[in-house]
Amino acid sequence: MSDYQMSLFHVITNWFTLYDAYSCPGNETLKVFKRPLLGGYFLASGVVLITLYIPCFVVMLKSKSPRPPIFHIMMVLAVFDMISLFVNSVTTGVFDLLGVTFCHFPLFIYITGSIGTGSWMGGCAACILLAVDRCVESNAKFCLAFLFHKWKFRIVMVIVLSYWAYSCLFTKPLLFTAEFSSWFFDPKIGNDPAIYHSVAHTMNNLVVSATTTLLYIYLCVHLAVKNTYTSSMWACRSKNQIILQAVILCSFHAAAAYIYVYMQFFYSPPALILLGQLSWQWSNGCFCVVYLTLNRTIRNSVLQILLSKKFRETHGLYLAPDEKTGTFACSFVDLQDEVVDSERNIRNAVAVSGCSNGPWSTL
């Protein structure tokens, strides 16, 4: 039984007919596991996180700042994250409220799970690329710096998008089970669970958890060592923010990756399953929270979109240098501009903080 036969591409090319391994016994539709509290949480938090993410995404689209490689990575990652949040939060919440299992809506859950699986794996590739970019910004001599050189970077992005398409169309999908309020490869219809194991997903999770952990450890150590050679308060603050973001992003992705690999092969108590689901949710949702709390330039630009100019003037909220003069700038205000006059050794400060890409560099 090949992965191809159990893939979304096979279903599409067979007129949306599921493979025999996903055929449900008649009595499975009688099982209902309503979980109103978890359902309410996932639905509400999913809507909130997507609502917070949308203005951040709009800011990226409307930005007039130069668009370095990290900008394109963040754009792709934002799309993957919002799709994943729709699956692991909004859809999960609705299913929990209804108490449905795979056999209630097999085709819809199958397609939704395929999209969620593809977005997770594609997002993992983008996260690795994001971590590499941060290391390159911190150390221009980093061994993978060549990946961000013009045409080579275009090839890298094509590979990331191709990997997403492969993961979505040609791998086994995650399927929802309301009994545990989570997604499994095994639809739990009485067949041998081993036939549903996804080797591609397992390898993806092991690689992303190990790679991002090592890259962010390198980034944190490198910044900490370089920080000993500067007295720049701004550089120290930027360094601390980057390390904090690295810990947040790496923790959620690593936790989700490891737990979902474990869940495929070993018995998992309900508490661990729920922790894995929450880790998956926040591995996607934490980005918009980071943007709005630790990235002042994105936060200010979002406020410029959400708050009218009259409201800002009335309350004295000048979110860009030119707002006091009556002009509106949709482009980001680079944090570096605030310290140019007081920091003569700006190159050293930028090198230590890893912020040479301006507002895009806070990740």
The string of pLDDT tens digits covering residues 230-251 is 555 555 566 666 666 666 777 7
**Residue 105 bridge partners (DSSP):** none
Among residues 286, 289, 320, the alpha carbon closest in space to that of 303 is found at 320
**Residue 182 bridge partners (DSSP):** 177
What is the pLDDT at residue 174?
94
Question: Low-confidence residues of the chain, pLDDT below 70?
Answer: 1, 65-66, 226-247, 315-363
CB atoms within 10 A of CB 258: 16
pLDDT digits (tens, 9 = 90+) for 52-70: 999 999 888 887 766 788 8
Residues 6+ apart with CB under 8 A from 32: 99, 100, 101, 178
| Structural domains present in the chain | 8-362 (1.20.1070.10)
What is the pLDDT at residue 36?
93
What is the pLDDT at residue 239?
61
What is the pLDDT at residue 362?
44
Determine the angle formed by the axes of helices 296-306 and 36-62, rounding to 10 degrees. Answer: 90
Handedness of CA 20, 265, 131, 149 (dihedral sign): negative
**Residue 184 bridge partners (DSSP):** 175
Per the prediction, the chain carries an average pLDDT of 81
Q: What region does 318 belong to: left with phi over 0, alpha with psi -120 to 50, or beta?
A: beta
What is the pLDDT at residue 353?
35
What is the pLDDT at residue 318?
58
* DSSP string for 209-259: HHHHHHHHHHHHHHHHHHHTT---HHHHHHHHHHHHHHHHHHHHHHHHHHH
